[in-house]
Structure 1
Amino acid sequence: MKPIFHLLSLIVFFISYKFYGFMLASEILLLVTVMSFCANWYFFTINILDIINFFLILILSVLTMHIQNIELIKYKMSLFYILLSIGLIYSHLGTNNSFIKILISESRHLNEEIIKKINLAWMIFCVFCAILHAIVASFASDNLLMLFKIFVLTSLMIIFIGSNLIYVQYAKNNKINEKNQN
């Protein structure tokens, strides 16, 4: 049920963008996200990803409404991916707990080497998305950029998360098998 609330926000944003433009769609997204977060809080348990998602949409929507310059707004997602990759690099090099370790509920079953590999993969993925988004933002129309963000980046994210889940399950099973053999 929770994913339906997240999907609803995306659908409402896309429909609002088509009929009312980017600025009003951002305001509507903010409203729907706040309502969705409150509903999730009331009916379900909130996890760290829900909180991060809520604050990212909150910050990016408010930033969009404040800037109101479509050229700067075009590159906002590239900046987001760069900042995310910098945060991952910092957590990878500068702290004992990587951000990915906090997010992966299965991390207690994984050794540090596997977590570092996943963290590195996320850093590379975020840099790749930032570059890809900047290229599309530079050369595509506003409508094509919006479709790219909604369908291509979302699809890439789903595929990447799925591959991470498969890798975590594989690593977890191999660790269990190694324990059983010893």
Structure 2
Amino acid sequence: MTDPFALFDEWYAQARQSEINDSNAMALATADERGRPSARMVLLKGHGPDGFVFYTNFEGRKAGELLDNPHAALLFHWKSLRRQVRIEGPVGRVDEAAADAYFATRSRDSQLGAWASDQSQPLESREVFMARYAKMRARFEGRPVPRPPHWSGFRVKPQRIEFWQDREHRLHERRLFTRHGDEWHEGMLYP
């Protein structure tokens, strides 16, 4: 198979069957303006040949780093399958319609939480956050919760995708796909 997206679809479908929790969890690595790296887990919310999508508060650290330095690396680790997928590439914002559509699918509590959270900012206590959440709950009582202006999504457009499969005696299999223009080239890497 020389289509990295078809291979990802196959592996992801298997992960959705075998992973107990959050088969869509991926590590997201960013770097600040000085090149200092930062990593955290986010959830994949869409994928295909146009890229891999996740959503976040645009006032938090990860969004700030991505807006300043629009390149990222993603890592899926599916322990039950003994596989991982590494993705690297430039990052762009999703369009407003896509962000609105995804936000509308979130639970009401998650929607309210997006309004209540000053993501990544210091928090005096859990009680302060829960009070802000209660305030948002009252504010939007009886009506739909719109997407906050500071909340949207990013799309990582891959330039490199590596598929790693565990093998006995650390004789792992590593398939690397690299994009050259609109074409993908496949190769192998030593374990």
TM range (shorter): under 0.3
More helix by share: 1
More strand by share: 2
Structure with the bigger RCO (C-alpha within 8 Å, sep 6+) is 2
| TM-score when normalising by structure 1 | 0.24
